[in-house]
Amino acid sequence: MSNKSVVELGKANYMGNYSQFPIAIRSGKGIVLTDEDGKEYLDFVAGIAVNALGYGDEEEKKALLSVIESGVLHTSNLFYNSHAVHAAAMLNELAGSEEVFFCNSGAEANEAALKMARKYGSSRGRSQIISFSHSFHGRTYGAITVTGQEKYHKGFAPMLPDVVYAEFNDLDSVKALLSERTAAIIVEPLQGEGGIIPADKEFLEGLRKAADDCDAMLIFDEVQCGLGRTGKPFCFQHYGVTPDILTLAKALGGGLPMGAVAAFSRAKGIFAPGDHAATFGGNCAAAALAEVVMARIPELSASVEENGRYLGKKLHGLVERYPDLCSAERGMGYMRGLDLKVPPRDVIAACMEKGLLVCSAGYTVLRFVPPLIATKEDIDKAIGIVSEVLEGISQSQP
Ligand SMILES: Cc1ncc(COP(=O)(O)O)c(C=O)c1O
């Protein structure tokens, strides 16, 4: 097929909820994707922070093939399967958590976390959830409610009751909302969709203390920033602040849908049989890929920490070189944003034309979330293309 024929078929049959770029991806190798017309792209999107090991990874291939050869892709949770239990043990080891629930997406992981918090709070008269400005937690009703951005609520009222919003990185705004009814605080340690905004250390420490003081659950949503992306296995490990509940998805299933909720000490044992479930949670194929991904996270985290600093430096260079087009560089590891003074979509389209895939975050930010295997040479190529695009815009401005 060609890009054109795939795009036309999509437009004729899809609902209109996406504004997609008019290319169709056919194949990938390493961190390079090829579209249906044969054009190649250096991929700094990674399926939006999903494809940690890039494309065509041999270990992923082997793991998936062995599941296919077993004949059993799915067992349901009426029974155990070896891949899911190993994946759970690996996640507990990596995160320092005590027990795990598997589901299929980030939104689903957050729904489960909210239910855990409400259940824990139910015998304590606590049901209120505090969330933050600029946050993003997914598109199901609970998840959009705790997403502190009006644009995601518009047209979908009423939201879930008993959710209030504080200002991100403003502890006083949290203190003003804390009460004997507070059940949970949900926060991304490094905000993604809201514009790549890292939490301050004192802020997360303050949230930990606030949750402890009122016996509420502190939920860290690491759906995007978890699993090596920030240069440590989990973003919270940069801060020395441990949550009660951690939610994950994106990179976990190596490209297959997989989400997880990990519970730490106080949150252990909240769910009893019958409280929660997901038919596909812990699916054999997704869990087999999760085993491969998690086995590589410690080593990849270390290279992301070093290469991420390099990416940050290069982006900072663009801010200095093009002050009329860029206002700031933010982020950690391989989750970085370049805040622009021009519409990100124009820059993204021009980069795509030159063979680089990047995406946006918030209204003004160009987001860089490459596969964790990306090298300094890949960074040089990507920054070279962004620089050419910014140079072109700068020269076309009056
Ligand atoms: C921090 C965060 N939480 C939750 C989600 C929702 O994940 P999903 O699209 O898998 O439901 C996302 C997706 O971008 C996210 O970035």
Q: Which atom of ligand 1 is nearest to the CA of 192?
A: 16
What pLDDT sits at residue 174? 98
- What integer best gives the mean pLDDT of the chain? 98
Measured from CB, residues less than 6 Å from any atom of ligand 1 are 105-107, 110, 136-138, 188, 192-193, 221, 223-224, 249
Q: Which of 136, 191, 261 to mutate to test the pocket of ligand 1 (most atoms within 8 A of CB)?
A: 136
Q: Are 337 and 331 in contact (CB under 8 A)?
A: yes
pLDDT digits (tens, 9 = 90+) for 142-159: 999 999 999 999 999 999
Domain boundaries, the chain: 3-56+299-396, 59-296
**Which amino acid residue places its CA nearest to atom 8 of ligand 1?**
106
Residue 181 Cα to ligand 1 midpoint, Å, equals 27
C-alpha span between 128 and 118 (Å, rounded)? 8
Give the rounded percent of residues in the chain with a pLDDT score beyond 90. Answer: 99
Q: In the structure, what pLDDT confidence band is assigned to residue 105 with cuts at 50, 70 and 90? A: very high
Class of domain 3-56+299-396 as given by CATH:
alpha beta
Q: What distances in angstroms separate CA 50 from CA 242, 268, 323, one per listed residue?
A: 23, 28, 31
What pLDDT sits at residue 36? 98
Q: Which of 193, 256, 258, 280 to mutate to test the pocket of ligand 1 (most atoms within 8 A of CB)?
A: 193
Q: Which atom of ligand 1 is nearest to the CA of 138?
A: 6
Q: In the structure, what pLDDT confidence band is assigned to residue 398 with cuts at 50, 70 and 90? A: confident
Q: Which atom of ligand 1 is nearest to the CA of 259?
A: 10
Residue 114 Cα to ligand 1 midpoint, Å, equals 14
Q: Which of 48, 132, 137, 145 to mutate to test the pocket of ligand 1 (most atoms within 8 A of CB)?
A: 137
C-alpha span between 143 and 79 (Å, rounded)? 29
Q: Could you write out the DSSP letters of every residue in 126-184?
A: --EEEEEBT----SSHHHHHHSB-GGGTTTS-S--SSEEEE-TT-HHHHHTT--TTEEE
What pLDDT sits at residue 365? 98
pLDDT above 80 for 40? yes
Residue 391 Cα to ligand 1 midpoint, Å, equals 33
Residue 2 Cα to ligand 1 midpoint, Å, equals 30
pLDDT above 80 for 244? yes
Q: Which of 149, 168, 223, 252 to mutate to test the pocket of ligand 1 (most atoms within 8 A of CB)?
A: 223
Residue 229 Cα to ligand 1 midpoint, Å, equals 14
What pLDDT sits at residue 364? 97
β-pairing, 356-357 with 359-361?
Answer: unpaired
Q: Which atom of ligand 1 is nearest to the CA of 250?
A: 10
Q: Are 290 and 88 in contact (CB under 8 A)?
A: no
What pLDDT sits at residue 54? 98
Residue 249 Cα to ligand 1 midpoint, Å, equals 7
pLDDT above 90 for 19? yes
What pLDDT sits at residue 397? 82
pTM of the complete model? 0.98
Q: In the structure, what pLDDT confidence band is assigned to residue 5 with cuts at 50, 70 and 90? A: very high
Beta-strand runs (E) in the chain: 25-29, 32-35, 40-43, 99-103, 128-132, 163-166, 182-187, 190-191, 197-198, 217-221, 245-248, 259-263, 326-332, 335-340, 356-357, 359-361, 365-368
Residue 321 Cα to ligand 1 midpoint, Å, equals 33
Fold for 59-296, please state it: Aspartate Aminotransferase; domain 2 (3.40.640)
Residue 253 Cα to ligand 1 midpoint, Å, equals 14
Residue 220 Cα to ligand 1 midpoint, Å, equals 12
What pLDDT sits at residue 356? 98
pLDDT digits (tens, 9 = 90+) for 288-347: 999 999 999 999 999 999 999 999 999 999 999 999 999 999 999 999 999 999 999 999
Q: What distances in angstroms separate CA 335 from CA 175, 272, 325, 329, one per listed residue?
A: 29, 36, 21, 11
Residue 112 Cα to ligand 1 midpoint, Å, equals 14
Q: What is the DSSP letter of 252?
A: G
Residue 376 Cα to ligand 1 midpoint, Å, equals 27
Cβ neighbour number for residue 182 with a 10 Å cutoff: 25
**Which amino acid residue places its CA nearest to atom 4 of ligand 1?**
137
